[in-house]
């Protein structure tokens, strides 16, 4: 057995405690002092959930001009990204996805929700590489047999009728449906509510009235601050999201431009998102996705459950510093054997 001790994140705050792990599962846990000397002392946090990625883009890292516009880069079907992906050999795509998943793990991230292009083969590729570390949202509907659901481009790209058809196909299959909303320009909140996705990404142009309706409809929103600052030249008003009662999650977006581990996203968000407390940012990466996105097999701090938590190197007396410090570092994962 491996015994972990230290401040443990539990639904919005840290409490001092310990966790004992056997064969990758939580065998026992408690608060206060542990029953024996710890094998690992660190800041204990459930594995972070990256609620929006494009992991297949990793193979294009270093090939994107700095001054390219959002539309020129990602607008389907002829944006630069789509052209480059079509020219990239499958083996290079697989190697890139594998590297992106390892990068996520090194950044304390246990699971990603990925919008995967490339039809059935693209979805199958990521599913095989990820081995349970990704919720694969493919496109178009033909990808459903190989995917966990559909991840649509903007409503304005697909058109309302096609978006409904995609939503209906996902629902008939009993699978997830998500989409980009309001990244490049404002989009109708009525259309969003009509589609009733499991979550929507970006919401850069949502008004206060829009956010109230989104919150009432219980549609989670995913913020991608680094991507939005670079491509859209603006940031999501996450403070307004939270004040409206929206369930806010955090994502890194395109793996060709941003690292896939959420420690980097958290650090950027703390500096860039005005009025959002560090504890609220951590909740966006831990609590909100677990409560509202229903990630498979990720129930934190229960005996018998997979030990999908991470121990981070302490940075002073404040446990939050272990997540936000420039040199934040993973000491160990609960579900992996300790290295000798």
pLDDT above 80 for 338: no
Give the pLDDT mean for 22-32. Answer: 96
What pLDDT sits at residue 79?
A: 87
Q: Which residues of 291-306 are buried (b: 16+ CB within 10 A; e: fewer)?
A: ebbebeebebbeeeeb
- Mean pLDDT, rounded, for 295-324: 93
Answer whether residue 302 shows pLDDT above 70: yes
pLDDT score of 339:
59
Q: What is residue 340's predicted lDDT score, i.e. its pLDDT?
A: 43
Q: In the Cβ-directed half-sphere of 51, how many Cα atoms lie within 13 Å?
A: 32
pLDDT of residue 71: 83
151-182: per-residue pLDDT in tens?
Answer: 999 898 889 999 999 999 999 999 999 999 99
For residues 180 and 201, is the Cβ–Cβ distance under 8 A? yes
Q: Which of 132-141, 245-254, 330-339 has the weakest average pLDDT?
A: 330-339
pLDDT at 61 over 90: yes
CA-to-CA distance for 84 and 100, rounded, in angstroms?
17
- pLDDT tens digits, residue range 232-284? 999 999 999 999 999 999 999 999 999 999 999 999 999 999 999 999 999 99
- How far apart are alpha carbons 220 and 232 in whole angstroms? 21
Angstrom distance (rounded) from CA 224 to CA 254 = 10
**Does residue 126 carry a pLDDT above 60?**
yes
What's the rounded mean pLDDT across residues 329-336?
Answer: 94
Q: Phi first, then psi: what are they for 235, rounded to 5°?
A: -115, 150
128 has pLDDT over 50? yes
Average pLDDT, the chain: 95
pLDDT greater than 50 at residue 113: yes
HSE-CB for 16 with a 13 A CA cutoff: 5
Domains, the chain, ordered by start: 2-46+298-333 (2.30.40.10), 48-292 (3.20.20.140)
| Cα 85 to Cα 61, 146, 195, 325, distances in angstroms | 11, 19, 29, 34
**181-225 residue pLDDT tens:** 999 999 999 999 999 999 999 999 999 999 999 999 999 999 999
The pLDDT, as a whole number, for residue 300 is 80
Query: Are the beta carbons of 163 and 131 closer than 8 angstroms?
Result: no
Q: Which residues in 35-55 are b (16+ Cβ under 10 Å) and which e?
A: eeebbbbbbbbbbbbbbbbbb
What is the average per-residue pLDDT within 286-312?
A: 93
pLDDT at 271: 97
Alpha-carbon distance of 179 to 147, in angstroms, equals 15
pLDDT at position 76 is 79
Q: How confident is the model at residue 74 (pLDDT cuts 50, 70, 90)?
A: confident
């Amino acid at each position: 057995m491996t015994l972990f001790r230290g401040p443990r994140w539990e639904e919005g705050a840290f409490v001092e405690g310990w966790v004992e792990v056997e064969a990758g599962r939580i065998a026992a846990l408690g608060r206060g002092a542990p029953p024996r000397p710890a094998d690992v002392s660190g800041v204990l946090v459930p594995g972070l959930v990256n609620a929006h990625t494009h992991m297949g883009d990793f193979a294009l890292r270093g090939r994107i001009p700095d001054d390219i516009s959002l539309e020129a880069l990602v607008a389907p079907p002829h944006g630069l990204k789509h052209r480059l992906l079509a020219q990239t050999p499958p083996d290079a795509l697989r190697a890139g996805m594998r590297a992106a998943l390892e990068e996520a793990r090194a950044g304390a991230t246990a699971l990603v929700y990925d919008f995967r292009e490339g039809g059935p083969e693209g979805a199958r590729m990521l599913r095989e590489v990820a081995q349970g570390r990704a919720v694969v949202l493919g496109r178009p509907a033909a990808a459903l047999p190989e995917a966990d659901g559909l991840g649509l481009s903007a409503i304005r790209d697909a058109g309302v009728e096609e978006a409904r058809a995609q939503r209906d196909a996902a629902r008939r299959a009993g699978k997830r449906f998500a989409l980009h909303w309001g990244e490049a320009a404002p989009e109708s909140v009525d259309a969003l509510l009509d589609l009733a996705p499991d979550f929507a990404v970006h919401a850069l142009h949502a008004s206060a009235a829009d956010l109230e309706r989104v919150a009432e409809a219980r549609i989670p929103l995913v913020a991608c601050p680094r991507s939005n600052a670079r491509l859209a030249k603006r940031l999501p008003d996450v403070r307004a999201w939270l004040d409206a009662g929206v369930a806010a999650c955090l994502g890194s977006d395109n793996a060709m431009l941003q690292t896939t581990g959420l420690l980097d996203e958290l650090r950027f968000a703390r500096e860039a998102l005005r009025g959002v407390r560090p504890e609220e940012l951590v909740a966006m990466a831990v609590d909100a996705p677990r409560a509202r996105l229903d990630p498979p097999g990720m129930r934190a701090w229960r005996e018998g459950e997979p030990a999908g938590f991470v121990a981070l190197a302490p940075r002073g007396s404040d446990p939050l510093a272990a997540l936000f410090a420039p040199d934040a570092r993973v000491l160990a994962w609960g579900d992996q054997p300790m290295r000798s």
